[in-house]
Chains A and B, each alone.
Chain A
Amino acid sequence: MNMTTPIEQREFKIVGKSVKRDDVLEKVTGEAQYTGDIKLPGMLHGKIKRAAIAHARIKSIDVSKALAYPGVKAVLTHETVPRVLHYGSPHPRSASCTKDQYILDHKVRFWGEGVAAVAAISEEIADEALDLIEVEYEALPGVFEPEDAVQLGAPLIHEVGPGGNLVLDPVRVNRGDIDKGFAEADFVLEGTFAGGRPHPAYMEPNVCVADWDGSNKLTFWTSTQTSFMVRGILAEVLGLPLTKVRVLVDHMGGGFGAKQDLFQHEFLCALLAKETRRPVKMEFTRHETFVAGRSRHPCKIWLKQGFKNDGTLVARDMKLVYDSGAYGSHGPGVTIVGTTAATSLYRCENVRLEGRCVYTNTPINGAFRGYGVVQSYYALDIQMDEAAERLGMDPAELKLKNVVRAGDIAPSGHPIIGHGLEICLKHGIDVLDWTTLRGRDRTPDPKRPHIRKGWGIGCEMHGSSAYPGIKEQGNATVKVNEDGTVTLLTGAAGLGTGAHTALAQIVAEELGVRFEDVGVIHGDTDVVPWDIGAFASHTTYLVGTAAKMAAEKVRAAVLARAAMKLQVSAEEIDLSEGKVFLIAEPDRSMTVSEAMGPSRGIPAANIVANGTYEPTKSYSFAAHFTEVDIDTETGIVEVKRVVPVHDVGRVIHPIAAQGQIEGGIQQGIGHTLTEDYVIDKKTGRSLNAGLVDYKMPLSMDMPDIETIILEAAPDPGGPWGAKGVGEDPIIAIGPSIANAIHDAIGVRFHHYPITPEDILKALREKGA
């Protein structure tokens, strides 16, 4: 929807093929270097002293014993670090961030917040020194639930912001006439919904290494999705020009959105290295990834919708309250995106939405795959199922009737391109023979009558790019080297999705060279063009378009150079598979290598071009069809089979796209059934910050997934119509499971995770 030009059609040679990923070769051999693998001469180890209280003022900190401990080289507290108020979420060009944090403050706002940092010659010594730091607290009353935090007289967690523990002013969206809509309704459904606190649990704990050189320049390795944002905020808070901060990230062990904050430990690592004039590594324990990492915002939703008896949706009134935890982080963005998303998915002309985001004395919630929309669409999609039940309609039929279509106004304010969701739904209904499936016995196994089976559908749409919240910019530099090979320089992070491979495919396709001849340079802010970061399902869409633009320019220049050498005009020749040839006489040709290399009177050369792309937004769509088995004796829900049908526009790398969908389903099953990072409501203390007590679906729990990707609605905003795919699956799977549970046992759940205890309790109540 960014350009009005039609999408170019061509016979693809590289795009659409699952070429081998270079990064994976290094990963299967163990050679891939992650930040935690870095070991520098003289390197110290940093550790953070964490508060064992959720809300307090620090009366005093005595670090003398820690400093005297053999092997300790430096200790930092709020009295010795720069006091600069800064953003937690470092997105530039965005007004949606609240500056609400210091590197270290004299106040503690959540259990586990860092209050001091130590650098020592070993991790063990640094750890032991933490116990020697004596902190005296003046306890403050804490608030652990948004509804308590917004009460009059509730303890205030921050001095900044709009007040009343709000992270930002309420987000309000009004379309049409809500009163008129409800007046026209034949019936109204109203319900409250609640989402837990799932944690991304990427496999690589947060880690960084800081090293200063003699010119006072900081080199900083960190596992981040947003290296240029890290550079920007580090420079700002430490008072350095951007040329004095170099951020490096090669491989990273996952992020799922949550590695796009500027974390407290990152500042402290840099400052400890500065103080000691030695490199310092700081690596989270798994426990710290929970306590000091970022989780999804718990959310409470009130949803009231009016329907006509023919199934037409005529009014939607919705209030959402997101729990930000102790700091703003991505709270503003999540609230805006999650709230405005509810204008769409299912058509409704009369909409009134209000989203709030509230501080509590709990660990920080941040960006996580599905960014606020997981919560709002869970409610929308479940209530749509309820409406179908009320109408005596098949939910597939009701959803099909109401899903957004081409020309409808998307949450971004732009008309939607194509009928992606409708096509996904219809395809799934056909492939599964949904109507027959619905008529099947719910207890098909007479030997196991306690096992009940159910099927559910979940629908979603999600934007590629963070527009309009953030006006994004994607950059790429493409160099054709003197031997005809090609180098792509990109700032996009490689968090494991295969994005660099997709970008190289796009360059090779557009330029007309072999995929193997394109190398990708990334992960060094001193070298590659500026990048906004890998998030919002946008790397292929945003940076892919920028790379295509750069490739288009170098292609023209290569053709011009070859034309000069062949002594023909550039219009007479074409370039394909690394060869320049005369269109009229294909046998007269030269390789790109010959075109770029030296020949009599013409020295070898490089051709360099940049692409810069500032998109609006495109939407991808999905419908998930999910089968569950419920053991009515134990309450255990087993997801047996998922058929996810996705429209992602043009597919660049099919296996990588499928991998995103299957991984998103895994995380979404966890969110819906087993995963919840639990914070004690009386103390704010973490109760399950570890991988045994925080229960994720593993190999034994995974259903059969039959991924279907349709190129149903290519969008001219992305390269050859490509759109995002990273976040979509995690949004659709949740409601499909909740709806399947209802189909199996006739009980409607409005929250996640839906635990075996919930199932048994509901079955008991239903029986009674």
Chain B
Amino acid sequence: MKRMVEFTVNGEAREMAVNGCCSLLDALRDEVGLTGTKKGCDVGDCGACTVLVDGEPVNACLMLAVEAEGRAVETVEGLQPGVDRLHPLQDAFMRHGASQCGFCTPGILMMAKKLLDDNPHPSDEDIRFGLSGNICRCTGYTKIFDAIKSAAREMEATRP
């Protein structure tokens, strides 16, 4: 039995028919057609599918699509402030080599956005703790830490 569900994705209203068991992750990837959010385990262990729901980080594989009814979902595709502009985190990830295979990157970017939104001056420990639910198997995290610190500095410098 499918059910209609409506929520916003990156500010755009979306309406779709989903099975009750359909995860928010599958709805985003298969129904909305935004495949930037990745499926690394589908059981909430890896963090690759991290999105923000009403501003809070969520493993999209653990949330049912119907639970997103009426809520605001943000994915990596909504991170860019403009067509030709990158979010400071995206730019810092490029410059610092924080993304290798890139499969964990969308989830880590969303988690890092939440981290910096809440805490513009994170300590090293804050960053480590903030990313503790996101598995990266390529980088050893070193360059990810560098990128987040660099983005924090840049966001601070450009904050009005």
A interface residues, Cβ below 8 angstroms from B:
18, 20-21, 23-34, 36-37, 39, 124, 200-205, 251-254, 256, 285-286, 495-498, 655-656, 658-659, 662-667, 690-692, 696, 698-700, 702, 705, 707
B2 within 8 A of A: no
Please, how many angstroms separate the alpha-carbon atoms of A662 and B131 in the complex? 17
Question: Do B97 and A253 have beta carbons less than 8 Å apart?
Answer: no
List A contacts of B80 (CB < 8 A): 29
Contact B35 A700 (CB under 8 A): no
With a cutoff of 8 Å between Cβ atoms, the chain B residues found around residue A37 in the complex are 29, 35
Task: Give the residue name and chain of the A residue nearest to B107 (CB).
Answer: A203
Q: A28-B93, A662-B142 are in contact. Are A698 and B103 (CB under 8 A)?
A: no
Complex-state Cα separation, A365 to B43, whole angstroms:
25
Instruction: Chain A residues near B30: list those with CB within 8 A.
Output: 39
Beta-carbon contacts of B91-103 to A below 8 Å, as 1s and 0s?
1011111011111
Docked-complex contact A32 and B102, CB < 8 angstroms = yes
- Given A203-B104, A663-B140, A691-B41, do A33 and B90 touch, yes or no (CB 8 Å)? no
Q: List 21 A-B contacts (CB under 8 A).
A: A28-B93, A28-B94, A29-B76, A29-B86, A30-B36, A30-B37, A30-B75, A124-B21, A201-B137, A202-B101, A203-B46, A203-B103, A204-B103, A254-B103, A286-B46, A659-B139, A662-B139, A662-B140, A666-B140, A699-B134, A705-B142
With contacts A203-B101, A286-B40, A705-B142 taken as known, whether A24 is within 8 angstroms of B94 at the C-beta atoms is yes
B42 near A: Cβ within 8 Å?
Answer: yes
> Complex formed: what's the CA distance from A692 to B94 in Å?
29
Residue picked from B48, B95, B131, B141, most chain A C-beta under 10 Å: B141
Q: Are A20 and B94 in contact (CB under 8 A)?
A: yes
- Specify which chain B residues have a CB less than 8 angstroms from the CB of A26 in the assembled complex: 102
On whether the beta carbons of B38 and A203 are closer than 8 Å, the reply is yes
Is B77's CB under 8 angstroms from A29's CB? yes
Q: 9 extra interchain contacts, Cβ-Cβ under 8 A, other than A20-B94, A28-B86, A286-B41?
A: A30-B76, A34-B35, A203-B48, A205-B39, A253-B101, A498-B100, A662-B143, A663-B138, A696-B135
What residues of chain B lie closer than 8 Å to A655, measured between beta carbons? 96-97, 143
A656 to B96 alpha-carbon distance, docked (Å): 9
- With A663-B100, A690-B45 already in contact, the answer to whether A205 and B140 are too (CB < 8 A) is no
Looking at the assembled complex, report how far the CB atom of B6 sits from the nearest CB atom of chain A, in whole angstroms: 22
> Which B residues between 86 and 125 are near A, CB-CB below 8 angstroms?
86, 89-91, 93-97, 99-106, 109
Inter-chain contacts of A707 with B (CB < 8 A): 142
Most chain A CB neighbours (cut-off 10 Å) among B77, B127, B139: B139
- Is the Cβ of B138 less than 8 Å from the Cβ of A659? yes
Bound Cα distance A452, B39 (Å): 41
Q: Shortest 10 CB-CB distances between A and B: which pairs?
A: A30-B36, A496-B101, A27-B102, A253-B103, A662-B140, A666-B140, A30-B76, A37-B35, A655-B97, A691-B45
Determine whether the beta carbon of A36 is less than 8 Å from that of B100.
Answer: no
Q: Is B63 an interface residue (CB 8 A)?
A: no
| CB of B136 within 8 Å of the partner chain | yes
Q: Count how many pairs of residues, one from A and one from B, have CB atoms less than 8 Å apart in the complex.
A: 177
User: Contacting B101 at CB < 8 Å: which of A39, A124, A254, A286?
Assistant: A254
Distance between B59 CB and nearest chain A CB, rounded to angstroms: 12
Binding site for A on B (CB under 8 A): 21, 29-30, 34-43, 45-46, 48, 75-77, 79-80, 86, 89-91, 93-97, 99-106, 109, 127-132, 134-145
Return A294 CB to nearest CB of chain B, in Å.
15
Min C-beta distance of B43 to chain A, whole Å: 7
| B106 touches which of A30, A202, A497, A662 (Cβ 8 Å) | A30
Interface centre among A251, A252, A655, A667 (most CB of B within 10 A): A655
For the complex, give the distance between the alpha carbons of A691 and B49 in Å: 14
- Minimum CB–CB distance for A676 against chain B, Å: 16
CB-defined contacts of B106 to chain A, threshold 8 Å? 27, 30
A656 CB to closest chain B CB, in angstroms? 6
Among A29, A202, A497, point to the contact of B137 (Cβ < 8 A): A202
Q: Which of A25, A39, A202, A662 contacts B94 (CB 8 A)?
A: A25
A717-B157 Cα distance, complex, nearest whole Å: 47
Report chain B residues within 8 Å CB of A700.
Answer: 128-129, 132
- A659 near B95 (CB under 8 angstroms)? no
Known contacts A203-B46, A662-B142; A28 and B35 CB within 8 A of each other? no
Residue of B nearest to A668 (CB): B140
- Pick the most buried of B42, B91, B136: most chain A CB atoms within 10 A of its CB: B136
A24 touches B99 (CB 8 A): yes
Instruction: Among B29, B30, B39, find the residue whose CB has the most chain A CB atoms closer than 10 A.
Output: B39
- With known contacts A286-B45, A656-B97, A667–B105 Cβ distance under 8 A: no
**Which residues on A sit within 8 Å (CB–CB) of B21?**
124
Instruction: From B40, B45, B100, B142, give the contact of A702 (CB < 8 A).
Output: B142
Say whether A29 contacts B36, CB under 8 Å.
yes
- Cα of A26 to Cα of B101 in the assembled complex, Å: 11
Partner of A690, one of B34, B37, B43, B105: B43
Are B139 and A698 neighbours in the complex by a CB distance under 8 Å?
no
Contact A698 B132 (CB under 8 A): yes
Whether B45 and A666, one on each chain, are in contact in the complex, defined by CB atoms closer than 8 angstroms, is no
Q: Are A663 and B137 in contact (CB under 8 A)?
A: yes
Instruction: State which of A29, A256, A495 has its C-beta within 8 Å of the C-beta of B79.
Output: A29
**Docked CA distance A99–B102 (Å):** 35
- A691 CA to B48 CA in the complex, in Å? 12
Q: Given that A658-B143, A662-B139, A663-B137 are contacting pairs, would A497 and B132 also be in contact in the complex, using a CB cutoff of 8 Å?
A: no
Chain B residues lying within 8 Å of A664, measured Cβ to Cβ, are 140
How far does the Cβ of B75 sit from chain A's closest Cβ, in whole Å? Answer: 7
Chain A residues within 8 Å of B91, by CB: 28
Q: How far is the CB of A128 from chain B (nearest CB, A)?
A: 12
User: How far is A656 from B138 in the complex, measured between Cα atoms in Å?
Assistant: 11
Quick check: B38 and A286 within 8 Å, CB to CB?
Answer: no
Q: Which residues of B contact A251 (CB under 8 A)?
A: 101-102
Q: Are A705 and B135 in contact, CB atoms less than 8 angstroms apart?
A: no
Q: Which of B38, B75, B95, B99 contacts A204 (CB 8 A)?
A: B38
Instruction: Check B140–A203 contact: CB distance below 8 A.
Output: no
Q: Shortest distance in angstroms between A670's beta carbon and chain B's nearest beta carbon?
A: 9
